[in-house]
Amino acid sequence: MKQDILIAENLEASVTSSINNVRFDKLVVLTDTTTNQHCWPLLSALPVFKGAHVITIAPTDEAKNLATLSDVWMALQQAGASRHSLLVNLGGGMVTDLGGFAASTFKRGMAYINIPTTLLSQVDASVGGKTGINFGGLKNEIGVFNCARTVILSSVFLRTLDHANLLSGYAEMLKHGLLSNNENWYELLSFDLENPNFDQLQQLVAKSVAIKESVVNQDPTENGIRKALNLGHTAAHAIESLALQEGRTVLHGYAVAWGLMMELYLSVRKCGFSAKVMHQLEAFVKQHYGKFQYECKHYEMLYNFMTHDKKNQSGIVNFTLMASIGDICINQTATQYEIEEMLDYYREN
């Protein structure tokens, strides 16, 4: 089912109309402790939320697990929700991923709306119908494809973000820029992240979402071209899994930024991608995101995490790489030797 994506000029009007467009017997709002404090007060007084039941879970990706999912199922049950109820997910990617999965499975499925409150969730997690949780030490291991009825995007929430979370979302926009065209790419490189213009940022978000939506509409369940959206993510998920295992959790977008550096190196080596553009990305990422530190002893572990990536077949690591900006090469394999060479390059540069 295709989802409606609203760029909200008037947040209250967009939220009200989106909820009123769904017939439901009970309205439930899912927040985490952060969005309950900073974002829910912006909406809670709207008449459309009168009588709504609010569920609040712990924040951060560490809470995106089976125990939290079970708590949400239990809370839905105790609230008297049915398959004819509506769940509104108000939060970042963790809330929209987990909330979307809870809605998709409770009573065999109820409708849900996403109101993403972080830049990352606006341009990535809340759009495209991927839902799920982390499991067994692996990112997004359990989940389903199921689109929200509506996704409401508003720059009002972006003003509540700290700088790190703004950067985290921007990494996914860099990925979309690489997938699209030179004009978009250079526009993203020139945006002032230190003193962001939020009106301009909302326009960039709209472009970024349109790029993702175009890809998703061509391939809703990731059998072909949707794999383009995994650019940078094979390496990024391995970094996140290593960080999670070592208790030094990193923001998803930071891992994506580092993963893009790694996978553009492979793109240069295997697909003839421009070394100049790779160096542009490297300079931008080092300036804004720093570096993720690891040692040679971590190579085997990082490689093993990559072999668990959902794009793989028969344990062969599958990458999305680039021949040039906008020229996407899906289903590119790499040997363990080539992956270790990539890890060397990142660590030494």
The pLDDT value given to residue 313:
72
Residue 125 has pLDDT above 80, yes or no: no
Q: Which of 84-93, 117-126, 237-246 is least confident? A: 117-126
pLDDT (0 to 100) of residue 1? 56
**Looking at the predicted structure, is the pLDDT value of residue 326 above 80?**
yes
- Is the pLDDT assigned to residue 168 strictly greater than 70? yes
pLDDT, average across residues 56-82: 96
- Is residue 41 a contact partner of residue 130, using CB atoms and an 8 Å limit? no
Q: How far apart are CA 102 and CA 288, in angstroms?
A: 35
Average confidence (pLDDT) over 293-321: 89
Report whether pLDDT(222) > 90: no
Residues 10-21, mean pLDDT to the nearest whole number: 97
pLDDT at site 316: 84
Is pLDDT above 90 for 197? yes
Portion of the chain with pLDDT greater than 70, in percent: 99
**With helix as H, strand as E and coil as C, how does the chain read?**
CCCEEEECCCHHHHHHHHHHCCCCCCEEEEEEHHHHHHCHHHCCCCHHHCCCEEEEECCCHHHCCHHHHHHHHHHHHHCCCCCCCEEEEEECHHHHHHHHHHHHHHHHCCEEEEEECCHHHHHHHCCCCECCEEECCEEEEECCECCCCEEEECHHHHCCCCHHHHHHHHHHHHHHHHHHCHHHHHHHHHCCCCCCCHHHHHHHHHHHHHHHHHHHHHCCCCCCHHHHHHCCHHHHHHHHHHHHHCCCCCCHHHHHHHHHHHHHHHHHHHHCCCHHHHHHHHHHHHHHHCCCCCCHHHHHHHHHHHHCCCCCECCECEEEEEEECCEEEEEEECCHHHHHHHHHHHHHC
Residue 85 has pLDDT above 70, yes or no: yes
- Band (pLDDT 50/70/90 cuts) for residue 24 is very high
Average pLDDT (86-96) is 96
Least confident of 79-88, 93-102, 307-316: 307-316
Domains of the chain in start order, with CATH, are 4-160 (3.40.50.1970), 164-348 (1.20.1090.10)
Q: What is the pLDDT of residue 274?
A: 98
- The pLDDT tens digits for 231-271 are 999 999 999 999 989 989 899 999 999 999 999 999 999 99
pTM comes to 0.86
- Predicted pLDDT of residue 2: 65
Average confidence (pLDDT) over 108-118: 96
C-alpha torsion sign, points 116, 118, 122, 124: negative
What average pLDDT does range 82-106 have in this prediction? Answer: 97
